[in-house]
Amino acid sequence: MDIKNYLDSTYLKTNSQAGLSESENKAVAKDFIQEAIDEGFKLIMIRPDRVALAKKMIADADSKVLIGTVIDFPEGTSSIDKKLEEAFECIQNGVDELDYVCNYEAFKAGNTDLVKDEVLKGTQLALNNNKIAKWIIEAAALNNVQIAAITALIKNVVIANFSPESYGSVFVKSSTGFYKTENNLPNGATIASITIMLENAGSLPVKAAGGVRTYNEAVEMVGLGVKRIGTSGAKAIAKGEETSSEY
């Protein structure tokens, strides 16, 4: 299996998270973008302020690597207007895919109308501009019942408001990879969480992000039915090695 076709190579650390200066962290981001070009990964996933840089590097290399970014990352608690503003700026800068963080805390508190509204409007913005939308549910912050319910909510909003031709362009995504769990529990994709998502996503594709660290784990995820895998250790996974990356 050519696992590279499934890999969203990911670098999302801020300067402070990386312990680097702005110029140093920009250099790391450039290395990740260049690696994605050289290795032929499906996509490079970077922060919004790096989209324009990635667009230029990919164009200069005449590469087909797609550009993805994260919206309202990693908490997901901003207003829908803030989410849309950030997403629109990224569209203007040449992004191909928008990975929105769902307001999963609002969902847990019972405010499902807010989540439905952001899924509707965020998806609409993406599809109207011929972009992919992915909705990060932060599975590690939810129990199994909640994982099933928020996945079904996203599916139902999409089915109620968009054509079947659009379903393949709206993903449900497991994790940011940055959620802090108690007792060192997994904070990303697990077999259990991904299985629940797949069972409730209907015709919507699922992206496994966070915690996939080996080629065999990646192949297992694809075998379950996921269409994309997000990892900051894409090169190691593609080479059949185990990555020590955190997300």
Active site residues: 99, 173, 207
Token output for 135: 């909705």
Gap between the Cα atoms of 84 and 189, Å rounded: 26
Cα angle 81, 227, 106; round to 5:
30
Q: How far is CA 109 from CA 104, 117, 119, 181, 237, in A?
A: 9, 15, 17, 19, 37
Q: How far is CA 207 from CA 15, 42, 53, 174, 212, in A?
A: 26, 13, 25, 6, 11
The percent helix, strand, coil of the chain (3-state, each to 5) is: 50, 15, 35
Query: Which SS3 state, helix, strand or coil, does residue 10 take?
Result: strand
Under DSSP, the state recorded for 47 is -
Residues listed for the chain = 247
Gap between the Cα atoms of 98 and 33, Å rounded: 17
